[in-house]
Amino acid sequence: MPQTKQHNAQANAQICGRPHLGRTARIGPEAFASLRLKDSPMHRHTVLFNLKDELSEAEKKRVIDSMQTLRTISTVKGYMLEKNKLPAGDKAPYEWLLVADFANDDDRQTYEKDAHHVKVIKGDFVPAVKNYIISDVNF
């Protein structure tokens, strides 16, 4: 049975959890490039991690709440810390995702050395984390 655009959009909406609005927004490479800063590439810091299994739910909440405060550091332009919606498994081995955006590499380095960042990472994150991976990119 051939699938229509409407059927595909509805199936995609079920997978993505977003309603189908009857149209698709597309952005070309020129428009996409214009979203970046002209003089300096943005910097994105991404951390995927799992908290230790032996932590209580209250301890896990305390750590996540502490990490949420990192968004208040002045060089942070965008910040997201969310739990993975996919069930844990081979294809989704990390429970948590942190994404922090900065205007440039220098702002990322300032964030890294910020006293509040050091306190949260050394005092809350490192003692509570089971495993993690980090990626830093300019875009």
Mean pLDDT for the chain overall: 83
We report the CATH number of the domain holding residue 61 as 3.30.70.100
Q: How many domains does the chain have?
A: 2
User: What's the pLDDT at 12?
Assistant: 41
> Which of the residue ranges 12-26, 36-50, 123-137 has the most confident prediction, judged by mean pLDDT?
123-137
Do 15 and 64 belong to one domain?
A: no
For tokens 């205007």, what's the residue?
A: 103
pLDDT in tens, 39-77: 668 999 999 999 999 999 999 999 999 999 999 999 999
Q: Is 38 exposed, middle or buried (0-12, 13-18, 19+ CB in 10 A)?
A: exposed
Helix, strand, coil shares of the chain as percentages rounded to 5? Answer: 40, 25, 35
Do 55 and 116 belong to one domain?
A: yes
Do 43 and 102 form a contact (C-beta atoms < 8 A)? yes
Q: Tell me the HSE value of 18 on the side-chain side, using a 13 A CA sphere.
A: 8
Q: Which of 62, 74, 33 is nearest to 120 (CA)?
A: 62
Expressed as residue numbers, the domain containing 78 is 40-138
Do 13 and 80 belong to one domain?
A: no
